[in-house]
Amino acid sequence: MPYRRATRHVTGPDGTRVAWHLHFGSVREESAEAELADRRTVLLTNGIGTTENFWRYIVGSLEQDHRVVHWDYRGHGGSENSRSGDYRIPVHVDDLERVTEAVMAQGDGRPPLHVAFSMGVRVLLELYRKRPDLVPAMTLIAGTPGAPGSGVDRWVPRAILAATRGVFRAMTPALPVAAPMAHAVMGSRFAYPLGRAVGALRARAPRADIDEFMKALRRMSPEAYWYTLRGLAEGHAWDVVPGVRVPTLIIAARDDTLVPFREMERLRDAMPHAHWMRVDDAGHAGLLEAGTEIADAVRGFLVQHGMEPPGVGRASEADGPVDPLPG
């Protein structure tokens, strides 16, 4: 079912218009901003290439009593391609900072509760580094502070990561040739079976949702996707993690082949204060494959920390409970 939402924009220093979307659920559109202004805001940050339907379970749960917002990276969804051609992580962090401030200004003035998926985890942690005052709580789903091997002193992971970065640089000139081929695969009937075969999708990944994701990728600028992906391999935010002092929930999919489970465990071990939830029989599309469990866990986390009215929801125990904070 399509979202009921209103779209607004912020503008970057280079003039790029970046979209953010206010979900208003059953509220009348003409009065939505006024009616929702006093509610606590939850701000959703996507993964690379992610379409908004990935958030449908969390939106459906939280829009009943929160002010829910999601935003689009440059070259994604309702946002323009980067006018400067820059898609590095610091650019996305600056955009999130502007979106956060705009959301606060049009709401109750308080910083939003942040939920980030995949690449969004890195972007959110970098925002915490830059502006911790804008991040009072965070939920980190199927994403880590950097590419596998980043932030590690051992030479083998560092060599593999350096080689990966070299491959990205070497393949960039081939983008005009490779992009049409990738679009053809995503538009074919083989896209879904291929995702299953390589382990990116589990059996319970809804076919309609994955088809919507593939259609959006075909519409997306190849340059926007490639340079965003290339930027994700550069640097990391592992050094930010030990200094996080806000309530945090980490959600990991056991069968994720894109973000290895061991990397999520590494994040958990580096944040001993954080809540932890493992979702079984779910891969990187866990927001769709285990949407109800994850939405319940997010709501339970908010309840536990007094960030929503008590008694409204609870954390799911079906695929792994949310651990309580130590002490």
Closest to 218 (Cα-Cα) out of 188, 192, 196, 195: 188
Question: Helices 222-232 and 119-130, interaxial angle, to 10°?
Answer: 60
pLDDT at residue 29, as a whole number: 80
pLDDT at residue 226, as a whole number: 84
pLDDT at residue 214, as a whole number: 75
Q: What tens-digit pLDDT sequence spans the chain (327 residues)?
A: 467 889 999 999 999 999 999 998 888 787 888 888 899 999 999 999 888 889 999 999 999 899 999 999 999 999 999 999 999 999 999 999 999 999 999 999 999 999 999 999 999 999 999 999 999 999 999 999 998 878 776 655 666 656 666 665 666 675 565 556 555 555 556 556 656 555 556 667 777 877 777 777 777 888 888 889 888 888 899 999 999 999 999 999 999 988 999 999 999 999 999 999 999 989 888 999 999 999 999 999 999 988 875 444 444 333 344 454 333
pLDDT at residue 324, as a whole number: 43
Phi/psi for 297 (5° steps) reads -65, -40
**How do beta strands 113-117 and 41-45 pair?**
parallel
Task: Quote the tokens at residue 120.
Answer: 């969004």
Range 5-304 classified under CATH 3.10.290.10: no
pLDDT at residue 209, as a whole number: 79
Reported pTM: 0.85
Q: Are 68 and 40 in contact (CB under 8 A)?
A: no
Please report the beta strands in 51-164, taking only residues with DSSP state E, as ranges in sequence order. Answer: 67-71, 113-117, 138-141
Structural domain boundaries in the chain = 5-304
Distances from the Cα of 151 to the Cαs of 70, 104, 145, 216, 266, in angstroms? 29, 33, 9, 32, 11
Q: Are 20 and 47 in contact (CB under 8 A)?
A: no
Phi/psi for 20 (5° steps) reads -135, 150
pLDDT at residue 142, as a whole number: 96
